[in-house]
Amino acid sequence: MADDPLALFDAWFAEAKAAEPSDAEAMALATASPAGSPSVRMVLMKGHGERGFDFYTNEESAKGRQLADNPHAALLFHWKSLRRQVRIEGTVERIGPGEADVYFATRSRDSQLGAWASDQSRALESRALFERRYEDVQQRFEGEQVPRPPHWGGYRLKPERFEFWLDRPHRLHERRLFTRSASGWDEGLLYP
């Protein structure tokens, strides 16, 4: 077993990419308002490593507004086929515009156009209105590359705590906890 949570995550993630039928990079992102009201939704991890765990979104969305007010969040990866999950908690910082531009350019054109057309998390009068907005954006950028919208960017969760959960018979699960310390990572176990 690895004593470095990032190495252990890499090993588990590699197994999940091979075993999960779809979206091994899907993670639940939990944020909270300044008053502590929680909110959770699924997002896709778009990078990870020593610097943290990356995801991208409309910065004016509910999660973007919550992260602006309270830059603490939690992630959960649940790989059902492996009977494993990883919980990660930490602080969130914005990814720089240059790095966000590079990632945005890798998205499909339809996804790029959708980022312009959507006022994510805001009330929508009708699906037809959104589809008209999408068509307007298609025409606006016809024959051109689609630039990253100014309200769209990336976030990086810098982990302070990892919990690796492994299913065991009779609900006698294994839970390994790593917490960041001045000297690196402290490791312990939790009761199931």
Active-site residue list: 171
For residues 178 and 6, the answer to whether their CB atoms sit within 8 Å is no
N-to-C CA span, the chain: 18
Q: State the Cα–Cα distance between residues 63 and 61, nearest whole angstrom.
A: 5
- Nearest Cα to Cα of residue 87 among 99, 95, 79: 79
Task: Give the up-direction half-sphere exposure of residue 162: CA atoms within 13 A in the CB hemisphere.
Answer: 27
Q: How far is CA 53 from CA 87, 110, 124, 154, in A?
A: 12, 25, 31, 10
Q: Is 87 helix (H, G, I), strand (E, B) or coil?
A: strand
What is the rounded CA–CA span in Å between residue 93 and residue 127?
33
- Between the CA of residue 183 and those of 8, 16, 91, 162, 179, what are the distances in Å? 18, 30, 19, 16, 11
